[in-house]
């Protein structure tokens, strides 16, 4: 899996030992990991790059995990990012507060790393199913991420690796309009320079492949913005 395909997990944790354990296990699972040691660093990263998931400690210096969670979920640009909150607070009232603030899951310290990884994968199946090996379906198009195969109307299609990543991104959220910059980040990765016009070239190739057997073009161009599936 290329860096662009790897789900990005932002870990916000001020204890160095906890950060090392999380980073080791997340990278072993194939995730790209970014670390923040306090709330200010986390908020700065969230403004510059939107991770696929946030693992967030409740007790942080400066800005608390609860406040970070509140801000992330109040912002329309970041509210869909899953947050798994870590806390030594085990009372029911604390769990309820964390979840009501917007956390998608709440894990009490000390926790089982195996269980945490399972909970993390569950959240990512909901938001980035293709990266978790899920089968995606849109109308008569089937994308099998585990076997790296695409079918339309029961017929196998030949897609290059870039077109496959592009289609999987579009199929994860049909109807969503992706800007060219968002597609560049998701398909190629932030660390690789690619001219935005390259997107148009690969969308053209994807369209040609999808229409090879006479099917209708499912990719919609949104003038001045980007592309959408359906």
Cα-based angle 36, 39, 43 (whole degrees, multiple of 5): 85
Specify the pLDDT at position 230. 87
Task: With a cut of 70, list the residues of the chain below it in pLDDT.
Answer: 1-5, 190-192
pLDDT tens digit string along 209-218? 999 888 899 9
pLDDT tens digit string along 101-125? 999 999 999 999 999 999 999 999 8
Specify the pLDDT at position 213. 81
Task: State the burial class of residue 42 (Cβ atoms within 10 Å of its Cβ: 0-12, 13-18, 19+).
Answer: buried
Which residues have a Cβ under 8 Å from the Cβ of 102 and sit 6 or more positions away? Answer: 69, 70, 72, 73, 79, 83
Residues forming CATH 3.40.50.2300 domain(s) in the chain: 8-127
Residues forming CATH 1.10.10.10 domain(s) in the chain: 131-229
CA distance 73 to 125: 19
Q: Please tell us whether the domain made up of 8-127 is placed in CATH 3.40.50.2300.
A: yes
CA distance 7 to 35: 14
CA distance 41 to 180: 27
CA distance 39 to 135: 36
Name residue, tokens 């894990």.
107
Q: DSSP labels for 112-162?
A: -HHHHHHHHHHHHHHH-GGGGT-EEEETTEEEETTTTEEEETTEEE---HH
Specify the pLDDT at position 76. 87
Task: State the burial class of residue 7 (Cβ atoms within 10 Å of its Cβ: 0-12, 13-18, 19+).
Answer: buried
CA distance 228 to 72: 25
Q: Does the reported pTM lie above 0.85?
A: no
Neighbours of 27 (CB within 10 A): 13
Best CA proximity match to 185, nearest among 197, 176, 194, 175: 194
Q: Going along the chain, which residue ranges are E strands?
A: 8-12, 32-36, 53-57, 83-87, 105-108, 135-138, 141-144, 149-152, 155-157, 178-179, 219-222, 226-229
CATH for 131-229 is: 1.10.10.10
Specify the pLDDT at position 131. 75
Q: Does the bond joining 110 to the residue before it have cis omega, within 30 degrees of 0?
A: yes
């Amino acid at each position: 899996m290329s860096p662009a395909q790897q789900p990005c997990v932002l870990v916000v944790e001020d204890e160095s030992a906890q950060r090392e354990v999380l980073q080791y296990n997340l990278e072993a699972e194939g995730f790209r990991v970014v670390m923040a040691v306090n709330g200010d660093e986390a908020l700065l990263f969230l403004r510059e790059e939107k991770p696929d998931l946030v693992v967030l400690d409740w007790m942080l210096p400066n800005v608390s995990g609860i406040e970070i969670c509140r801000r992330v979920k109040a912002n329309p640009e970041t509210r869909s990012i899953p947050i798994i909150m870590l806390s030594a607070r085990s009372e029911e009232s604390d769990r309820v507060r964390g979840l009501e603030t917007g956390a998608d899951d709440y894990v009490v310290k000390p926790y089982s790393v195996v269980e945490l990884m399972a909970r993390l994968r569950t959240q990512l199946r909901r938001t980035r199913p293709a990266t978790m090996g899920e089968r995606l379906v849109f109308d008569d198009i089937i994308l099998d991420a585990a076997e790296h195969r695409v079918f339309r109307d029961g017929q196998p299609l030949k897609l290059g690796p870039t077109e496959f990543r592009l289609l999987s991104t579009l199929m994860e959220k049909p109807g969503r309009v992706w800007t060219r910059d968002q597609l560049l980040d998701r398909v190629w990765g932030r660390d690789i320079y690619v001219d935005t016009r390259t997107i148009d070239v690969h969308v053209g190739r994807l369209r040609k492949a999808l229409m090879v057997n006479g099917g209708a073009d499912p990719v919609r161009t949104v003038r001045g913005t980007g592309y959408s599936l359906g």
